[in-house]
């Protein structure tokens, strides 16, 4: 049974308090609709660009923006496809958020599913992985490397263990003991656990970040989609990978990562 290990520290409490305060200000801020849409569109471009850049995509911001506008750019075909795919992922989780989020018709009720996870991976790797592997759990051993340094960060579980560990994770995410955890921490735990399990042959980092974003979106912490968490991770990539590595170094304790 999956049970995340972490301690609610003063630092975590302080940051959650700050997040709650900022969320309230943003939620109740009055803004001209046209400006709100503009901020959301800009954040979407940053999310797609930095969400692929941190994984080694070589398109610069301007090129990524032109790709998303439907223009042609002189670049490696895979880099262009990754940007298109991640745009499609963000649109997919937006639709899930609208339908299954707190403000949606279901009032936030409904389980997270492995089908959503596999669909996110399918969209992430469209025209990149062969069709038999896209949207399917891996069948071989993999290692996780820092895309900036090439250093092996950690070794995920064997392929045969992936379905079991994913099932145990979703059981936690959907049951009361998981739902009692603050949504921001749930998103952080989701992010790490999907990276740790590394359920797919490729695209796991993007899938993990996208599914964590879905948790925030469904549970009311999308803050109107004005910000790009991916931009923060890319701007602090050494700290990002270091915090991920620290979990295994601390025998699975997630506290430092969540802080």
Active site amino acids: 198
Three-state DSSP state, 91: helix
* DSSP secondary structure string for all residues of 121-188: HHHHTTTTS-TTTTTS---S---EE-TTT--EEE-PPPGGGHHHHHHHHHHHHHSHHHHTS-HHHHHH
Cα 25 to its chain centre, rounded Å, is: 24
Q: Is 211 exposed, middle or buried (0-12, 13-18, 19+ CB in 10 A)?
A: buried
Binding residues: 202-209, 240-241, 250
Residue ranges of the annotated binding site for ATP are 202-209, 240-241, 250
């Amino acid at each position: 049974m999956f049970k995340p290990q972490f301690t609610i520290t003063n630092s975590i409490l302080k940051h959650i308090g700050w997040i709650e305060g900022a969320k309230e200000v943003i939620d109740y801020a009055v803004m001209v609709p046209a400006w709100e849409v503009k901020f959301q569109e800009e954040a979407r471009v940053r999310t797609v660009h930095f969400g692929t850049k941190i994984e080694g995509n070589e398109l610069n911001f301007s090129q990524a923006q032109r790709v998303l506008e439907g223009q042609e750019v002189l670049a490696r075909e895979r880099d262009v496809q990754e940007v298109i795919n991640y745009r499609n992922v963000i649109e997919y989780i937006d639709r899930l958020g609208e339908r299954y989020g707190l403000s949606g018709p279901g009032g936030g009720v409904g389980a997270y599913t492995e089908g959503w996870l596999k669909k996110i991976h399918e969209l992430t790797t469209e025209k990149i992985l062969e069709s038999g592997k896209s949207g399917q759990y891996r069948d071989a051993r993999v290692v996780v490397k820092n895309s900036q340094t090439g250093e092996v960060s950690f070794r995920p579980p064997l392929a045969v263990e992936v379905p079991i560990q994913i099932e145990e994770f979703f059981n936690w995410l959907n049951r009361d003991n998981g739902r009692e955890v603050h949504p921001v921490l749930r998103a952080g735990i989701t992010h790490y656990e999907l990276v740790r399990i590394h359920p797919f042959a490729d695209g796991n980092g993007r899938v993990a970040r996208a599914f964590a974003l879905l948790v925030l979106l469904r549970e009311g912490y999308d803050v109107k989609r004005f910000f790009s968490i991916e931009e923060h991770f890319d701007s602090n990539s050494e700290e990002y990978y270091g915090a991920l590595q620290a979990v295994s170094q601390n025998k699975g304790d997630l506290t430092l990562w969540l802080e």
